[in-house]
Structure 1
């Protein structure tokens, strides 16, 4: 008889756990940007000299379960924390998460103006709660994008990039790097992407050197990268 009571008790515990799980998964859904706010992005026209407009991807993700219906979310511009004006960007009229999805990529259109050819402008986006979504983690509720058409050391060119990949930064090197790779913005934490594009640039420098057209920095020294390919 004691074994029967123990078995019944175990079944009741399992039943209680199942009910708790149902409550958890039927709770509110939260939305946030994939990148934390301190990990800003760069939209540069330098890699696209013939384009007057660029679409820039911004990813958002759902913390919760996918829905079987289309859900609407809202992104607006934090004017107080932005230097870009409406002349420099366009936002879609509506943002929606498709049924069955927990991640979406929205496109922000940037416009090449005379202003961004002299200084990098900052666009700060922020998520707002809707009937479908509450706001996610505090550090993922905003996204910062710098848009420019000027050459300046990007945030991703960190000490690690200098020490192990591209070597010392110079405006000339960055301009040529963009020219040869088509990349103005790189995720410095993505080692494969960083290594791949560094090798492309390294091969370009070597090819020029082999043709007796060595690429030099403005001070006359040979332009090199730090990455050693074994």
Structure 2
């Protein structure tokens, strides 16, 4: 009986030691992951065409921290996944990952570049993943990668439809969109109310009149194609 008691005590001691070791290992490390990743990959897609005149465009991804909190800013490392990338090195800049002190959620910013004419006819993508360095280790499995998909192909914005098209901006065509962005500095009306869109459209009309911009047929003033008043 005494032997059995000693044996049980040894087992319990071993379990406690293992649990202590696990806590110490976890608390001595910091783990990073992309919280918005689904099925292992968080993606952002855009077209430089929707940013007239822009040679660069920056996209952002949230990065989450588990483990010890930071008392100072620390760098983390991401690298390109070649097998999941079609963009050329000149199409983007390697991001510098810095997780800031006191935060549990930070941002990774990736800058893409519009320097190749090929982007007007083809879509490319670049995939980054978190890799270990002296400060951080990749965290939750399946949440280590992000992808940016981009091009410079002419396309109608998804938000230019419905009541916004019928009552505010009128028919879409590339030149009208480009002048709208130049006039207002706005290239995305997703979630914007009709009253807010109307204010932008009125600003657009002032610009069209001031600059005597012609419409689709080259003869009718473009301002006459804007239904809002």
In the superposition, the TM-score normalised over structure 1's length comes to 0.59
Decide whether the 8 Å contact of 2:156 with 2:172 is kept in 1: yes
Deviations 1:60-91 (A, max 9, x none): 32154742243433333344444321132221
Give 2:164's aligned residue. Answer: 165
Residue from 39, 44, 50 that aligns with 1:40 = 44
Decide whether the 8 Å contact of 1:72 with 1:130 is kept in 2: no
CA distance in 2, matches of 1:139, 1:162: 35
Give 2:205's aligned residue. Answer: 206
Deviation at 1:32, TM superposition (A): 0.7
Give 2:86's aligned residue. Answer: 83
CA distance in 2, matches of 1:90, 1:181: 29
Give 1:103's aligned residue. Answer: 106
Decide whether the 8 Å contact of 2:31 with 2:137 is kept in 1: yes
Cα gap change, 1:179 to 1:151, in 2 (>3 Å): farther
CA distance in 1, matches of 2:179, 2:142: 38
Cα gap change, 1:88 to 1:163, in 2 (>3 Å): same
CA distance in 1, matches of 2:141, 2:217: 46
In the superposition, the TM-score normalised over structure 2's length comes to 0.59
Decide whether the 8 Å contact of 2:33 with 2:130 is kept in 1: no
Correspondences of 1:11-22 after superposition (within 5 Å): none
Decide whether the 8 Å contact of 1:31 with 1:136 is kept in 2: yes
Deviations 1:134-179 (A, max 9, x none): 345847832323142x43224xx24xx4114345532233222222
Max radius of gyration: which structure? 2
Q: Which runs of 5+ in 1 are unaligned?
A: 1-22
Deviations 1:110-134 (A, max 9, x none): 1422323x32532232322425143
1:31 paired with 2:30, answer no
Tell me the number of residue pairs that the alignment of Structure 1 and Structure 2 aligns: 191
CA distance in 2, matches of 1:136, 1:187: 35
Residue from 221, 224, 227 that aligns with 2:226 = 224
Q: CA RMSD in A?
A: 4.2
CA distance in 1, matches of 2:164, 2:208: 19
Deviations 1:18-56 (A, max 9, x none): xxxxx7x9586342165876762325266453x6x4251
CA distance in 2, matches of 1:210, 1:136: 56
CA distance in 1, matches of 2:203, 2:189: 21
Give 1:18's aligned residue. Answer: none
Cα gap change, 1:180 to 1:73, in 2 (>3 Å): same
Give 1:60's aligned residue. Answer: 62
Q: Which runs of 5+ in 2 are unaligned?
A: 1-22
